[in-house]
A and B are shown apart, each in its own frame.
Chain A
């Protein structure tokens, strides 16, 4: 384990900010800009071979001063190893909630990153299709797992029902899937731009 840490440090001097071991699990804090190189190296290097991406998620602490953390759980199936990689996004108002996507290394990151974006609003730069996944695309109350999001949502039950009934049900279907021309104006701006440019999403 110590050898792994040294190898990582030696290769990416400034990229690894600190290493912690909690309950036997190693956590490597890395710099946001170097994350992709580090993950790629962990995946490709014959001495590491972290070929399995278990999970991508984020943590927001109750203390608003503490940075939001994006967490990658990696496994090396050949060596039976487990590693947690973290990127801290400080909330100084200057750092954007953006991290590089690892989709080109692990295809399994596709839905995991979409869920993380959906729940926390963290943008994964380089993801081919960063849409909401659990919430619908027209959802505009914000990002449910953020601490400033109330447990029961931003609106009362009555207001949520009113909004649901007022919405055009056809707008739940995107244009590319079903032809619903009259619902086009009800689609969110990003979706309309995407459809106008003829972009196709999905697998």
Chain B
């Protein structure tokens, strides 16, 4: 896998030179008007036997380009990064510890708050893990609704990534377009579950609510109009000389390295490894949907951008298929040891009242056992590992955070690059500190 690549850029943009490097501002102009760039004088340091002192620079934890509270200590030789020491933990709030003191349904609000760009996807992932632990099946309608929820949250997350990365790299317009579309997804979510960011949309064995009347029409309208924005952003960025110049060849991870470092999601796929949990370890009947898994060729920042753009389109495809096949029927499982019976029955039927009482007072109890359920979150493989000792609260609730693993390779990725490229590489990882620090 070579770092050299050529990207066709559109006429009229500043473009690349013959070697595929971005054009820099000319340093000198000769008499005839031709432009030459001067070689840096190499002799000076050697002649004086000067040894350049390395400089330490601290980016963060309050820097806007670190996407949260990440602190990077960079050792610089001139403007080149020699070493990068990341410091995390500023947002640590002990989610896993708190989960050990909560019943399963009470943990769901905490899953909103770790990867807060993908909150509804986390709700679904947690519910899937708990359902395997309880050994219950969900209804066909719930399965399709959850697919819609997961793909909507993937679109939100990728749009936020796109917008913020554009700002980091210096493009403002796509940010506005992306956030306008994100707002439309939030409107959909708000109408469905009543919340925008902290959705808490699932329950063990079902969903908090069925979709309201007319919701599918709004979704269909979104599916129809959203790809236009993706195409517009594509047209503005993909062949833009500045965008290409600031992303190509940066932070390259080869396929073997990416697998060995435990990267997942678009980070891994950009390196050419077609690993997608939705396809390789299917859940929610993802194997029955028709979608492509985009992979990159070079594993650089530009490939990660391309992969995420394509995933936006594929998510729309999945949404359209899910909307077409949404069956009628109940949303919640009828296993009333886990799912609350309807309130009307709880007041009139003895058995339902007992279930209601037991669930509210004690909480549903899973059998002894453990489960690890991974889903494809927008950032990568998101896993929930739950261990039960037969009581109503988990003994251990472990979040496998994809951003955490992706970020752990940043030291390797930024080495040898310029200080300003650190921002672009860090942006390409798509980190959410809430998930990394938990």
Contacts and interface: CB of A to CB of B under 8 A. Distances in A.
Interface of A: 22-23, 25, 27, 51-55, 57, 59-63, 71, 73, 77, 80, 82, 84, 106-112, 115, 119, 132-136, 144-145, 149, 151, 177-178, 201-203
Contacts of B408: 108, 110-111
A51 B405 contact: no
Nearest to A178: B56
A178 B58 contact: yes
Nearest to A53: B262
Given A22-B369, A59-B370, A110-B408, 19 more contacts: A23-B133, A55-B383, A61-B389, A73-B400, A80-B281, A84-B372, A108-B260, A108-B261, A109-B262, A111-B404, A111-B405, A119-B96, A145-B97, A151-B97, A151-B98, A177-B58, A177-B73, A202-B411, A203-B411
Nearest to A69: B387
Contacts of A57: 385, 396, 398
B88 to A, nearest CB: 7
* Chain A interface, DSSP helix/strand/loop, else mixed: loop
B41 interface: no
B259 interface: yes
Contacts of B398: 55, 57
Contact of A108 (B94, B387, B389, B405): B405
B235 interface: no
Overall SS of chain B's interface: mixed
Interface of B: 56, 58, 73, 83-85, 88-89, 92, 94, 96-98, 101, 132-133, 135, 257, 259-263, 273, 275, 280-281, 369-372, 374, 381, 383, 385, 387, 389, 391, 395-396, 398, 400, 404-405, 408-409, 411-412, 415, 437-438
A54 B88 CA distance: 20
A151 B101 contact: yes
Nearest to A135: B89
Contacts of B412: 203
Nearest to A201: B85
A110 B404 CA distance: 11
Contacts of A80: 280-281
A33 to B, nearest CB: 24
Contacts, number: 120
Contacts of B84: 202-203
A144 B381 CA distance: 25
A110 B411 CA distance: 12
Nearest to B437: A134
B375 to A, nearest CB: 12
B400 A55 contact: yes
Contacts of B83: 202-203
29 contacts: A22-B370, A23-B370, A25-B371, A25-B372, A52-B262, A52-B275, A54-B262, A54-B381, A55-B372, A57-B396, A59-B370, A59-B395, A59-B396, A61-B395, A73-B372, A80-B281, A84-B372, A106-B260, A106-B262, A112-B404, A132-B89, A134-B437, A136-B89, A144-B94, A144-B97, A149-B97, A177-B73, A177-B85, A202-B85
A164 to B, nearest CB: 14
B395 A62 contact: yes
A178 to B, nearest CB: 6
Task: List 4 A-B pairs, minimum CB-CB distance, nearest first.
Answer: A108-B262, A203-B411, A202-B85, A134-B89
A60 B404 CA distance: 22
A153 B411 CA distance: 32
A25 B257 CA distance: 27
Contacts of A112: 262, 404-405
Nearest to B256: A51
Contact of A203 (B85, B275, B374): B85
A60 B396 contact: yes
A177 B56 contact: yes
